[in-house]
Amino acid sequence: MIRFNIQPESSSVNWTGKKVLGLHTGTIFLQSGFLDFDQDQLIGGELTMDMTRITVTDMKEQKLHYEFLHHLQSADFFAVDQYKTAKLTITKCVKTGDRHTVYGDLAIKGITNPISFNTSIEILTDFLHAMGELKVDLTVYGIKYGSGKFLSNLGNKLIYDEFVIQFKLIGQK
């Protein structure tokens, strides 16, 4: 087995949340992680994100930026005072050509659900480069704020249940 330890300072995790009249973007700090391989086949791993360091990157007006960030950190969304981290645990991977379909469990707000996504992984002797995108339904993690599944007559205040996480991981043996 070969383990690549993810380098948080060289890696990035970006998020995008959409609503009827637009979208918001930001980052989540990758606290730690590793990916395990048997030859060139991903067999497991774990990524821990520090939710207390979630950021908003699309709002320039300071007051609105602060209010929105505080709202993301509140119980309406990620409750970061109580749930400081989110964790992705990789349980299986199916490789088809250069693409990997990754299966695992994603824990947000103390709630764990299965997830799958595609990623590209490149191994260069002692280094690893991986990129991919996850679509996450926030409602399965108890995040119902602005959801049309649970609230009616939201009009242009509707927030789409899925948000997207894009990642770039750099790892070293």
Q: What's the CATH number where 129 sits?
A: 2.40.128.110
Q: How confident is the model at residue 85 (pLDDT cuts 50, 70, 90)?
A: very high
- Residue 173 near residue 36 (C-beta atoms within 8 A): no
Q: Helices (DSSP H) in 51-173: which residue ranges?
A: 62-73
Least confident of 6-10, 134-138, 144-148: 144-148
Give the tens place of pLDDT for each residue, 107-118.
Answer: 999 999 999 999
Greater confidence, 159 or 127? 127
Range of the domain at 82: 2-172
Average of per-residue pLDDT across 124-141: 92
Average of per-residue pLDDT across 53-60: 92
Please give the tally of structural domains in the chain.
1
Q: Which of 109, 132, 130 is nearest to 36 (CA)?
A: 130
Task: Quote the pLDDT of residue 148.
Answer: 43
Reported in sequence order, the residue ranges of the chain that DSSP labels E, i.e. its strands, are 2-6, 12-19, 22-27, 29-38, 41-50, 85-96, 99-108, 111-124, 127-137, 159-172
Average of per-residue pLDDT across 57-68: 88
pTM to 2 decimal places = 0.88
- Residue 162 near residue 148 (C-beta atoms within 8 A): no
